[in-house]
Structures are given as C-alpha cells and as structure tokens.
Amino acid sequence: MGCDGGTIPKRHELVKGPRKVEKVDKNAELVARWHYCALSQEKLCRPIVACELGRLYNKDAIIEFLLDKSADKTPMEAASHIKSIKNVTELNLADNPAWNGDKESIKGDKYDDIQSARFICPVVGLEMNGRHRFCFLRNCGCVFSERALKEIKSEVCHKNREGGPELF
C-alpha cells in the first residue's frame, strides 16, 4: 500500500533543480503600452496625453493623480516625474478607419486582434501598435510615425505649422 518503508526515493525525486526564469512576452508588453494607461491601467480613451518619457495616459487619470494630495497616497512610479498638467501634452491622434474594436458588442465570444491599432499615422498610414516608433510635437500634440518625419524632413507640423518632434 505504500509508506511501509519499502520504497527508496531516487535523487531526482529529492533534489529540485534551479527554476526557470519566466520571460516577459515582448509582444504583450508592447500591446499593454499602446492600449492601456500607464497610470491607471485602464484602456486608453480620449483625451489621451503623453509625458516627455513617451508614456501614454488618460487625461482624467493624470488630473486625479495630481489632485490627490492625501498623505497615504502611494507614489506611482509611472507618473512620479509629472508635477503639473504642463508636464504632459494632449495628443491629436488620427483614427484608424480599419479598426472596429469598440463598435461591436462585447459578449466575450469575439476575437480581439491585438495587432490592429486604434490610431494610425496620418501621413504614412502606419498603425500605432508598438512595431513602429512614433513622435509627437510638443507644441501642437500632433502624432506622426518616425518614418513620416524622416520623409517630410521638416521641423514644423504639416497640419498646423508648429513644433519640433518628441519621440515616444
């Protein structure tokens, strides 16, 4: 029946080897960075702002963070460098006409394509899904892909003639 002393455990049953380190899925990390607020971890919804480090936030989450003056407030690493609303820039994002994420009813039985992006570059048409670098202009908040800025070779916004690029 067992446990009668007649069994002798082998070495591999007694010695545990080193545990394998879990690797972070780069694709999932990029999706999280481009689809969720860095402060509240909620889905990004307009108005969307960005800091000088290139992190994307919901504007209402930043305002709540700045207004919360309680002593028991935990310091948020994602927004510790933001001291006022002037430290962030509101982004003028171009909608992706091929994206239909919020248009369908959410029943849990549909496939979410995490590679399709909600926003695109208005010049080149690249999707903002983390595969390509994007820049925003601090003066006007217009967002372009880095490839578009290299093609234009201009330091001013082609929409409203302002600014210089800030990478994110």
Of 143, 138, 140, give the one whose Cα is nearest residue 160.
140
Query: pLDDT band for position 80 (50/70/90)?
Result: confident
What pLDDT was estimated at residue 63?
92
State both tokens at 107: 């029943």
Query: pLDDT band for position 111 (50/70/90)?
Result: low
Instruction: Measure CA 117 to chain center.
Output: 12
What letter does residue 85 receive in the DSSP assignment?
G
Q: For residue range 7-65, list pLDDT tens digits in order.
A: 788 887 888 878 788 887 887 787 788 888 988 889 989 899 999 888 999 999 999 98
Instruction: List Cβ neighbours of 55 (8 Å cut-off, separation of 6 or more).
Output: 33, 38, 78, 79, 168
Task: Please report the DSSP string for 88-118 in residue order.
Answer: EEE-BPEEPTT--TTTS---S-S---TTS-S
Q: How far apart are CA 145 and CA 117, in angstroms?
A: 13
What pLDDT was estimated at residue 59?
93
Please give the average per-residue pLDDT across 127-150, as a whole number: 86
